[in-house]
């Protein structure tokens, strides 16, 4: 049987993001300490910073469709970066 995926709460993700943004440790070290894949931490960081930018711009809360479109765009970008070897 396959390995079961861990579901991270918003509070756990926030704690990890604050640790990353403090820059006291590398992302690799923080990921290892929390048992998270390093790539996942980078994805959360990108999402966290994007949401912060929206908040500072005074943007209204996104609808579910807008969130899905944004996630779709982000995934396409990541796939393109992987395909071009920019990882």
Which residues, including other chains, have CB under 8 Å from residue 46's CB and lie 6 or more apart?
74
Cα separations in angstroms, 45 against 4, 38, 51: 23, 11, 10
* pLDDT confidence tier of residue 38, bands split at 50, 70 and 90: very high
The pLDDT value given to residue 30: 96
Query: Rounded to two decimals, what is the model's pTM?
Result: 0.60
Mean pLDDT of 38-62: 83
């Amino acid at each position: 049987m396959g390995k079961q995926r861990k579901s991270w709460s918003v509070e756990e993700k926030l704690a990890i993001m604050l640790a990353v943004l403090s820059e006291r440790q590398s992302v690799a070290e923080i990921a290892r300490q929390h048992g998270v894949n390093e790539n996942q931490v980078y994805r959360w960081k990108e999402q966290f910073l994007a949401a912060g930018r929206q908040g500072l711009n005074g943007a209204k809360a996104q609808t579910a469709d807008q969130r899905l479109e944004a996630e779709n765009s982000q995934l396409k970008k990541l796939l393109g970066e992987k395909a071009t070897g920019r990882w």
